[in-house]
Structure 1
Amino acid sequence: MSPEQIVALIAALAAEPDPNAFASLKAGGANPDYPVTVTPCARPVAPTEIDGQTVICGTVEVPFDHRAPEGARINIAFNLYKAHSLSPQPDPVIYLHGGPGSGTVIHVAKTISYFEHLRGRRDIIAIDERGVDSSAPEMDCYSTLGEQLGPVVEKKAGTDVPSLSLDFIKGCLDELESKGIDYSLINTEQNAMDVPAVMSALGYDSYNIYGVSYGTKLTMEILRQDPPGIRAAVIDGNAPPWLPLYSMFWESHSTPIRKTLEPCERDPVCNAAYPDIISRTFALIDKLDSEPVQGPNGKVGLEEVFFTFDNRVDMTGKYEPLSPYMPLMIDQLEKGDTTIYDRIAAGELPPKPATADDDTVRAAAQAAGLSASDMVLVDAMLSAANHIRTAGDTVTRTAQALEAGLDSEARNMDLAEIFDDQLAQAIQSLEEAEARLAAGRDYLDLRFVTPSVDPLITLANAHFEEKTASAIVALARQLDPGEVARVFDLIRIDNQATVKDVEGDLQLMLYACQEDFANGWNSPEKFRELMVAEGSWGPVMQDILVGGLAAYFVEPCALFKKHPRENWTSVGSSDLPVLSMNGELDTQTAAVWGALSVQNYSNAQMVIVPESGHGTIQFSQCARDITAAFIEDPEGNLDTSCVEDLRLPVMLPDGTMHPLPY
């Protein structure tokens, strides 16, 4: 942060909150049909945000079934980040996350970091989609978790518990049914109806959508429903419902290989050096299963080569620029030579940028013939640089501490957190594993108890020896009503963290098993049929990839009733401006799915970004600039020329680098 930003931050944190900030939301929102409740944002929000001033968090109450609006309700959690402009555009951007599962609302700072490039002129809204994390606390299966707390603890400790996921899903479905929750309504159709309801509640008449991964599928369903107010949409990492995607995930692994090697086949020099390199690569990967290459550092087999391609990117934004070395690696391995592979495995490739320490810089300055007086200036500059680095880290840490301290004082949390810590320590200190599990189960069950001191006292007396119980009971009796509420808030947070370890699969299965595996739309049989017909993968990889699908989805999906919907798999159409963004190296959603997503969209533009993975804005300033330009002017001529500069060269057999065409 600049000095001006630091001063502004301190002033904002120290000042009285602006009573007009987010006034309409604090008053219940803009649409009485969808009431808004403001809640504290997940901590920490500083140094980039100030709860209630630059960002506000809460829930919007919407119908559980939008076709029966008088029935049960569900709360959709949101974060609303104010635009940096004092005169923002009226149409914000709502981010629809992937999965489905692994929500975004709890990650206040991380979430907005992806969208700062759109925030200069527009508010940004992030939600947890229905049935996911903060948008479904009543669907958390704490009874099932309590029954399986032992296996959960073993899994968290690193022990393999193969049946835990399946057992948890089965128990959780039974638990949801016993609560009377119709989980068939956790689907993309209802999810799509939530979005315009949330935007109406937040007071926006017009808005833009940015969907990533499953969020693209959700965006396409919203476009199918065509509610009023949508100005434009970006779909990044495309997963169209009119493709049997779970039967096509083999393509999300073959496409990055093809996209990496196609420029070589198009280039005369590279093609002469590595003829037919695409077919050779797929053939070699299959062959290496039974005939690995022995190198000085061990065998190089199918898995090693497959994951060298596949692990160049991941969903967190990690990226390794290994594409230049792939043709030579394949060429060498065919000849029994592991040189390039070994250098990649050792971290020697790609070459790491030189990082000069102070002594190296001084030596270089002296070698350049700088005078003694100039060297004094060099030392001063190096000292200042170190001070700047230290100061930057200090500002971040102290701003977070200041914000947390002010928040603690505002909510009178100290005694509550002391109590929660002592209760946790008392449970952990129980000598017998079964005693710890029993206390842990009762602790989990507090999630459903009306906050008061009595259940805390009951838990202490039931599980701890007299001295420990007396200390906890005495501390509990000192809690005032606000502190009691905070203790139960901490219990809720602890519950969510524990259940999240095993609930992630359930959140995905609620959507995938009920929708995508209905009527044979996806199946291992279709997976193999489509993969064989396309022809990239050989027999060994076909068996591996089919086995992966079967192991992950077949047994769990057999536990669900299927709920196919009319026209769910028919190709959608829209006349709204849509930008399809796709990363060439994306191993979650194949880049070639981008064109299939917008095939019937009359006002669509498509960009494939080299050297980018899942969610292109994580990987490339070029992608961020393109999406920002599109949101600014969805109907304008979009300049995408920056993607051409992202194409990396290829290493030829003599070790020289040769440029490749885009």
Structure 2
Amino acid sequence: MEGGPGGDAFGAIPFLIDSGVNRDRDLVVVAQRGTLHSQPNLACPEMDRFNATAVGLPYDAPSTGRGLVRAAKQCRDRLAAEGNDLKAYNTTENAADFAALRKALGIKKWNVYGYSYGTDLGLTYLRRHPQGIRSLAIDSVVPPQIVSLPWAWDSAQEGINAVFAACEAQPACKSRYPHLSRTLTQQVRRLEANPLRLTVPPPGGGTPVKVVLDGGTLVNLLVSNGRLVPAVDVPAALYELADGNPERLARAQAAGATPSIGEFAHGLTHSVACAEWAPGFSKRDVLKAGRRAFPGWPDSVLAHAPQLPFEHDLCRVWNVPDRTAVQRVATRSNVPALIISGTFDAKTGASWGPYTGRTLPRSTAVLIPGIGHWVVPQNPCAASVLLSFLARPTAPDTGCVPGVEPEPFTIVP
């Protein structure tokens, strides 16, 4: 079960194969409803094109929000005009697809693996359609009863603080990069007051791109969990920024200028987020959660949930009904479960794994030190635990976990 919501599940096949999950069993990979390779595909090229230009805009400026909402409305209007019923794209219906597929394939029992949003989906599937599920493995956990826009700040705080604590535990990193939390606060405040405007080549080279680095941009680069700035580079990047060298972060921001147009299903993202994550919490609630997580940061940064800026405004034009009454529910089950979390995960904080396990009495929760979002493809130990779980769901071999340590951080002289 792919993450996102809206990601391309088929793109994950190489990672899954490298992890060995199909070594002695069949692997079934499903393109979720609305995603690439499904019909219809709820891609939003309008939003992809806006996001490509947004790397050169202030992250949390009202004008940026208006541009994002305008692009979302253009996509929504087009999808609706094509006859798509966007209220049918939700986690309840998504889970029902998997239940129907198992029956159609004639599979009596299967193991279910999901990461990120795929854990929200997997837990919903287990709650609503437990028949035929031999085991559930969830990686980088999004608890359906908890996930919301304010929740994103809790996860960001947990993941970022874990990176800083790991640096503190490595003598070379502690010596070279002390006071990381204070340095981050200083840089968020400085950039928000005086954004940097630079022209830099993207990480892979090519035509230089105009980018803006403000406080919100810096935070979202850190929350991207290694996709843009690897965790091992974070202390060095912050100190380089403080010393007047923003190049590493600026190049990471420039990566967003060349998105894959039409590959990510923003239509599924916002149909789920606006029906299941945003309702019941106001903009004020998001700001309060941000202040609680990062006191001292500017309100203009804290007013936006990491990775989902201006979502309340976007949801007004996306216009799907509130589904929290049926979706914001804990899963209780005796089906064997494996819960894998990475301590550096700033998208889905590691503590939410064991939290979810409270209502899964036959679950094993594993924390992998030094790994961010989507653990199994990044860590051989996590992959071996998953394989042992598939072989013996009630007694996975977790013996390798105590030996895992975070990689050494990048030290720039």
TM-score, with normalisation over the residues of structure 1?
A: 0.49
How much does 1:224 deviate? 1.2
* Alpha-carbon separation, structure 1, partners of 2:52 and 2:325: 45
* Alpha-carbon separation, structure 2, partners of 1:157 and 1:271: 34
CA spacing shift, 1:277–1:577, aligned 2, 3 Å: farther
* Alpha-carbon separation, structure 2, partners of 1:174 and 1:342: 42
* Alpha-carbon separation, structure 1, partners of 2:325 and 2:130: 18
Corresponding residue for residue 48 of structure 1: none
How much does 1:616 deviate? 0.9
1:288 to 183, 187, 190: 190
How much does 1:558 deviate? 1.0
Checking the alignment, whether the CA contact within 8 Å between 1:286 and 1:538 is kept in structure 2 is: no
Checking the alignment, whether the CA contact within 8 Å between 1:207 and 1:231 is kept in structure 2 is: yes
2:352 to 585, 593, 611: 593
The answer to whether structure 1 residue 241 and structure 2 residue 147 are counterparts is no
CA spacing shift, 1:262–1:225, aligned 2, 3 Å: same
The answer to whether structure 1 residue 322 and structure 2 residue 233 are counterparts is yes
SS across alignment from 1:579: strand
How much does 1:186 deviate? 2.1
The answer to whether structure 1 residue 539 and structure 2 residue 281 are counterparts is no
CA-atom RMSD, angstroms?
A: 4.3
Checking the alignment, whether the CA contact within 8 Å between 2:223 and 2:347 is kept in structure 1 is: no
* Alpha-carbon separation, structure 2, partners of 1:244 and 1:304: 23
The answer to whether structure 1 residue 127 and structure 2 residue 30 are counterparts is yes
* Alpha-carbon separation, structure 2, partners of 1:154 and 1:652: 36
* Alpha-carbon separation, structure 1, partners of 2:357 and 2:225: 27
How much does 1:118 deviate? 0.9
CA spacing shift, 1:140–1:97, aligned 2, 3 Å: closer
The answer to whether structure 1 residue 206 and structure 2 residue 109 are counterparts is yes
How much does 1:277 deviate? 3.5
After superposition, residues 15-26 of structure 1 pair within 5 angstroms as: none
| Partner AA of 1:100 in structure 2 | P
Checking the alignment, whether the CA contact within 8 Å between 1:240 and 1:593 is kept in structure 2 is: yes
How much does 1:569 deviate? 1.7
Checking the alignment, whether the CA contact within 8 Å between 1:237 and 1:582 is kept in structure 2 is: yes
Corresponding residue for residue 215 of structure 1: 118
Residue-by-residue CA offset, 1:471-496 (whole Å, 9 max, x unaligned): xxxxxxxxxxxxxxxxxxxxxxxxxx
Stretches of structure 1 lacking an aligned partner (at least 5 in a row) = 1-95, 348-496, 656-662
CA spacing shift, 1:127–1:153, aligned 2, 3 Å: closer
* Alpha-carbon separation, structure 2, partners of 1:252 and 1:97: 20
CA spacing shift, 1:293–1:156, aligned 2, 3 Å: closer
* Alpha-carbon separation, structure 2, partners of 1:539 and 1:214: 28
The answer to whether structure 1 residue 102 and structure 2 residue 7 are counterparts is yes
Checking the alignment, whether the CA contact within 8 Å between 1:240 and 1:597 is kept in structure 2 is: yes
Checking the alignment, whether the CA contact within 8 Å between 1:576 and 1:603 is kept in structure 2 is: yes
Corresponding residue for residue 639 of structure 1: 398
* Alpha-carbon separation, structure 2, partners of 1:183 and 1:152: 17
The answer to whether structure 1 residue 553 and structure 2 residue 311 are counterparts is yes
* Alpha-carbon separation, structure 2, partners of 1:245 and 1:303: 19
Corresponding residue for residue 114 of structure 1: 16
Checking the alignment, whether the CA contact within 8 Å between 1:312 and 1:321 is kept in structure 2 is: no
Checking the alignment, whether the CA contact within 8 Å between 1:611 and 1:647 is kept in structure 2 is: yes
Stretches of structure 2 lacking an aligned partner (at least 5 in a row) = 57-63, 197-211, 252-259
* Alpha-carbon separation, structure 2, partners of 1:238 and 1:570: 15
TM-score, with normalisation over the residues of structure 2?
A: 0.75
Checking the alignment, whether the CA contact within 8 Å between 1:233 and 1:578 is kept in structure 2 is: yes
CA spacing shift, 1:632–1:156, aligned 2, 3 Å: same
How much does 1:131 deviate? 2.7
* Alpha-carbon separation, structure 1, partners of 2:73 and 2:85: 20
Identical aligned residues as a percent:
20
Residue-by-residue CA offset, 1:128-150 (whole Å, 9 max, x unaligned): 1123333332x769xxx9xxx9x
* Alpha-carbon separation, structure 1, partners of 2:284 and 2:356: 24
| Partner AA of 1:231 in structure 2 | R
| Partner AA of 1:258 in structure 2 | N
Corresponding residue for residue 256 of structure 2: none
| Partner AA of 2:303 in structure 1 | V
* Alpha-carbon separation, structure 2, partners of 1:170 and 1:576: 39
How much does 1:227 deviate? 2.3
* Alpha-carbon separation, structure 2, partners of 1:282 and 1:133: 37
SS across alignment from 2:134: strand
| Partner AA of 1:556 in structure 2 | L
SS across alignment from 1:211: strand
The answer to whether structure 1 residue 313 and structure 2 residue 223 are counterparts is no
How many residues align structurally? 378
Corresponding residue for residue 511 of structure 1: 272
CA spacing shift, 1:504–1:165, aligned 2, 3 Å: farther
How much does 1:198 deviate? 0.6
* Alpha-carbon separation, structure 1, partners of 2:379 and 2:158: 19
CA spacing shift, 1:301–1:346, aligned 2, 3 Å: closer
Larger radius of gyration: 1
Checking the alignment, whether the CA contact within 8 Å between 1:248 and 1:531 is kept in structure 2 is: no
